[in-house]
């Protein structure tokens, strides 16, 4: 079982609120990722990081932002939540070297009303 | 365009039966292919990883095959159990980027009935 954690697991929030989804890993992995997944659909990469102070946008455009101040922590923030942000958000990490094995957290199910 | 296609989209089988899930991909250059199991409301968990030179790999009741020439993979589940009910996702890794770009299929939703 991978040591990667996400909080909260479920969040229901009103439109216009600022939210931060937390992700932390205890494996010392350099690379971390945020994916967005709608029901029955594939995962889409929205942000990734090679290490501390490194953040990049993924393939799917997202209004969210991320930061990487510490190796183990990779939070995602939405400044003003909208119903279109309703989705499942999955965090993952992987060691810098190796066959790109990614370890996933349990996910945060976000509902914006 | 790099793509990963899975079939069937959903599958219902009785406990104890076997089943085979299919994955076709167009990702190039190919690094490796993984099968993940994703329980409802959870993150994906890796079942197998297959490199270009591997044809078959087993993990308990799960056996994955890979034909790199035809760009096809399958996941065979034997003696299914109720706990096998989940989405099974085929993921292909692109060798051409330092990020290790992952291409995800939409998954096959497997339901095992008692």
| Residue A100, pLDDT score | 65
If we measure between CA atoms, which residue out of B57, B9, B53, B8 comes closest to residue B35? B57
- For B44, the closest of A44, A100, A104 (CB atoms) is A104
Q: Touching check for B95 and chain A: CB below 8 Å?
A: no
Measured between beta carbons, the chain A residues lying within 8 angstroms of B4 are 42
Smallest CA–CA distance from A97 into chain B, residue: B98
Q: A45 and B43: CB-CB below 8 Å? A: no
Rounded to the nearest integer, the mean pLDDT of chain B is 91
Q: Mean pLDDT over residues B48-52, rounded?
A: 86
Q: Could you write out the DSSP letters of every residue in B15-58? A: TT--EEEEEEE--SSEEEEEEEEE-TTS--EEEEEEETT-SEEE
Residue A47: other Cβ atoms inside 10 A:
23
Assigned token pair, B36? 């993940």
Q: B102 and A45: CB-CB below 8 Å? A: yes
CA distances from A96 to A28, A90, A111, B56, B100 (A): 10, 19, 33, 27, 10
CA-CA-CA-CA torsion for B13, B20, B105, A13, nearest 10 degrees? 20
Q: Is the pLDDT of residue A1 over 60?
A: no
| Residue A91, pLDDT score | 97
Q: Mean pLDDT over residues A9-13, rounded?
A: 96
Q: What is the pLDDT of residues B73-112, one digit of tens each?
A: 999 999 999 999 999 999 998 876 666 678 899 999 999 9
Structure letter (DSSP) for residue A73: B
């Amino acid at each position: 079982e991978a040591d990667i954690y996400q909080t909260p697991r479920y969040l229901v929030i009103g439109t216009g609120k600022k939210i931060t989804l937390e992700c932390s890993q205890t494996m010392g992995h350099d690379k971390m990722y945020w994916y967005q997944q709608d029901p029955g659909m594939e995962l889409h990469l929205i942000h990734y990081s090679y290490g501390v102070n490194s953040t990049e946008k993924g393939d799917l455009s997202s209004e969210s932002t991320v930061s990487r101040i510490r190796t183990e922590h990779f939070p995602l923030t939405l400044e003003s939540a909208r119903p279109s942000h309703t989705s499942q958000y999955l965090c993952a990490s992987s060691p810098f070297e190796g066959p790109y094995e990614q370890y996933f957290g349990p996910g945060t199910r976000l509902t914006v009303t | 365009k790099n793509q990963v296609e899975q079939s069937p989209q959903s599958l219902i089988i009785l406990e104890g039966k076997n089943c085979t899930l299919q994955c076709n991909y167009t990702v190039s250059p190919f690094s490796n292919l993984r099968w993940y199991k994703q329980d409802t409301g959870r993150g994906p968990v890796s079942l197998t990883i297959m490199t270009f030179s591997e044809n078959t790999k087993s993990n308990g009741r799960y056996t994955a095959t890979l034909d790199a020439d035809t760009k096809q993979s399958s996941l065979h589940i034997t003696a299914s159990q109720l706990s096998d009910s989940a989405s099974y996702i085929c993921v292909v890794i692109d060798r051409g980027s330092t990020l290790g770009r992952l291409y995800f299929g939409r998954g096959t939703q497997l339901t095992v009935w008692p």
